[in-house]
């Protein structure tokens, strides 16, 4: 019996017992594959029928392409991982069938040998399909993940590269990474600035400041820090920068991530603003000097005796000229409070003494209106940390207001005491008071309770807004209690220890 006859015999045997083979295979599937999500239903029945037919054909002509192609359709489908086990099971079923129905022992052995040989080829084909399938799956996953990563990277790259803020990573004294804006600020090409020693960029002064303070502070803080520096650009021009730096890791080692903003323009504007105010002050005060100087000179009788009405006219002019001078002071002060470069000149302030001296300087004003000025400031009142001149201005403004808004014969009381962790200076008057609905607005700039053109009280309405800003800068606050018609009480609270800025 040659191989072709053997194949033909085996194929006939399989064809004759195909239903039996199918039933037993279906049983095996039911037992072993249902837990893997393969249900034995009509669809599986049809597939088994088809597979068995294909197997019979394969066995008959010794070609395995068909069965392998057929099996390849299942690649990636549920249960495919079990196809190998299924074929091994079918091989056993088939061997049992041959064993059972073949009588000629030699033919039986040759047939079983053939079955093993054929199935080895098929199983080998399947396991290669498996490998290919896993490789494909892996490739697909890598592709997907890569696409995701590229998208995320593109997003962040776009955000960083396109940012109008300079971004860089500093490590071991070098700029390890820089975006376009950072390169632009430094005046270098990105390739030039990357890898550069960042200390070379800073001016000697900024470098010292960086080494002496910022670097150490950053380590101590282990958090974000904002600082300013000057850098020398490639063309040797200077740029002022503001840096927001955060500790980070880069390449697995500690580094500093910086956001850098070019603030030269802001600084120029600030300088312009300051010089504008300084010019305004000069331009307003120069003519005022002549106006007020001559008025006072005339009033002093140095240019001849004046009659009563001439005297009164000049006195009115004199008072207004003095007010104008105060107003200019106020505007300049307010502009300096707004200024970014404004800093308190901090020191130990004996607030009782400062308030007392300020109150004394108002005595003549008070006497003029026949007001009683009662001052009760204990000498042992705790000192505060603050800017003496600013605090003096604060007290002066509030006492001025009290004197201004208290009718003749009234009383202005100034007291000082401790309350909790605060030192409180209390200024109360028996003046016109402030209606409840106006109380929240009195600290607004240019606000006057009576803003009608015929108002009784002068002033630009700037005083209290300055007071509020000064108190804020000292970490304190001003409270007001008032009843219209009964007078007002202003409480200036300043922290005993001082916690300005």
Q: By the criterion CB under 8 A, which residues form the site for another protein?
A: 278, 281-282, 285-286, 288-294, 296-297, 300, 302-303, 321, 325, 329, 332, 336, 389
Integer Cα distance of 445 and 415 in angstroms:
27
Q: Taking the CA of residue 201 as centre, how many other CA atoms within 13 Å lie in the half-sphere pointing to its CB?
A: 27
d(CA 254, CA 218): 12
- Using the 8-state DSSP alphabet, how is residue 228 labeled? E
What is the DSSP annotation of 233-287? -TTS-EEEEEEEEEEEEETTEEEEEEEEEE-HHHHHHHHHHHHHHHHHHHHHHHH
Closest CA to 326 of 365, 297, 355, 360: 365
Return the closest-CA partner of residue 237 out of 285, 188, 278, 309.
188
CB of 277 to another protein, least distance (A): 10
User: Least distance (Å) from another protein to the CB of residue 290?
Assistant: 5
Of how many residues is the chain composed? Answer: 501
**Residue 485 to residues 374, 399, 408, 433: CA-CA distances in angstroms?**
20, 18, 14, 5
Q: How far is the CB of 297 from another protein (least distance, A)?
A: 5
Minimal distance, residue 300 CB to another protein, in Å = 6
Q: Which two tokens stand for residue 486?
A: 């009964």
At its nearest, how many Å lie between another protein and the CB of residue 198? 34
Give whichever of 248 and 275 is closer to another protein, judged by the CB atom. Answer: 275
Pairing verdict, β 411-419 and 372-376: parallel
In 3D, which of 165, 227, 252 has the Cα closest to residue 178? 165
Nearest approach, Cβ of residue 342 and another protein (Å)? 11
Nearer to another protein, 72 or 285 (CB): 285
What are the helix (H) ranges across 339-444?
Answer: 351-361, 363-368, 388-404
Closest CA to 21 of 94, 119, 129: 94
Element (H or E) spanning 419, and its range?
strand 411-419
Handedness of CA 460, 463, 468, 474 (dihedral sign): positive
Q: How far is the CB of 444 from another protein (least distance, A)?
A: 25
CB of 431 to another protein, least distance (A): 29
Nearer of residues 264 and 365 to another protein, judged by Cβ: 365
């Amino acid at each position: 019996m040659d191989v072709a006859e053997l194949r033909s015999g085996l194929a006939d045997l399989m064809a004759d017992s195909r239903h039996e083979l199918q039933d037993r295979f279906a049983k095996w599937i039911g037992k072993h594959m249902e837990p893997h999500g393969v249900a034995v239903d009509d669809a599986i029945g049809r597939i088994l029928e088809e597979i068995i037919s294909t197997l019979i054909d394969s066995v008959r002509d010794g070609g395995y392409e068909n069965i392998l192609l057929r099996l390849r359709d299942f690649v990636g489908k549920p249960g495919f991982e079990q196809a190998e086990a299924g074929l091994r099971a079918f091989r056993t079923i088939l061997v049992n069938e041959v064993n059972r129905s073949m009588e000629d022992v030699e033919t039986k052995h040759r047939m079983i040998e053939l079955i093993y040989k054929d199935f080895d080829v098929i199983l080998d084909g399947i396991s290669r399909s498996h490998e290919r399938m896993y490789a494909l799956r892996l490739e697909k996953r890598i592709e997907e993940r890569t696409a995701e990563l590229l998208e995320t990277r593109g997003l962040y790259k776009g955000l960083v590269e396109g940012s109008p803020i300079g971004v860089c990573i500093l490590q071991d004294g070098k700029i390890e990474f820089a975006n376009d804006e950072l390169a632009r600020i430094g005046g270098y090409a990105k390739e030039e600035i990357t890898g550069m020693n960042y200390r070379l960029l800073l001016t000697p002064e900024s470098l010292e400041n960086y080494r002496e303070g910022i670097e150490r502070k950053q380590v101590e803080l282990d958090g974000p820090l904002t600082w300013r520096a000057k850098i020398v650009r490639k063309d040797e021009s200077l740029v002022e920068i503001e840096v927001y730096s955060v500790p980070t890791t880069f390449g697995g080692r500690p580094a500093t991530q910086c956001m850098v903003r070019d603030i030269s323009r802001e600084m120029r504007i600030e300088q312009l603003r300051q010089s504008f105010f300084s010019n305004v002050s000069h331009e307003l005060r120069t003519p005022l000097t002549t106006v007020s100087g001559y008025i006072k000179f005339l009033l002093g009788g140095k240019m001849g005796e004046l009659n009563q009405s001439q005297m009164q006219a000049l006195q009115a002019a004199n008072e207004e000229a003095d007010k104008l001078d105060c107003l200019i002071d106020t505007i300049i002060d307010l502009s300096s409070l707004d200024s970014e470069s404004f800093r308190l000149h901090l020191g130990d302030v004996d607030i009782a003494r400062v308030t007392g001296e300020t109150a004394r300087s108002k005595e003549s004003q008070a006497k003029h209106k026949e007001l009683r000025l009662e001052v009760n400031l204990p000498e042992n009142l705790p000192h505060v940390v603050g800017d003496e001149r600013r605090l003096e201005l604060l007290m002066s403004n509030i006492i001025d207001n009290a004197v201004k808004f208290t009718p003749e014969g009234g009383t202005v009381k100034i007291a000082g005491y401790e309350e909790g962790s605060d030192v409180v200076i209390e200024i109360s008057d028996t003046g016109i008071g402030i209606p409840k609905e106006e109380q929240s607005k009195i600290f607004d700039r240019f606000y006057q309770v009576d803003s009608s053109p015929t108002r009784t009280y002068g002033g630009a309405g700037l005083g209290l807004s300055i007071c509020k800003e000064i108190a804020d800068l000292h970490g304190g606050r001003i409270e007001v209690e008032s009843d219209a018609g009964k007078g007002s009480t202003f409480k200036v609270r300043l922290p005993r220890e001082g916690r300005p800025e």
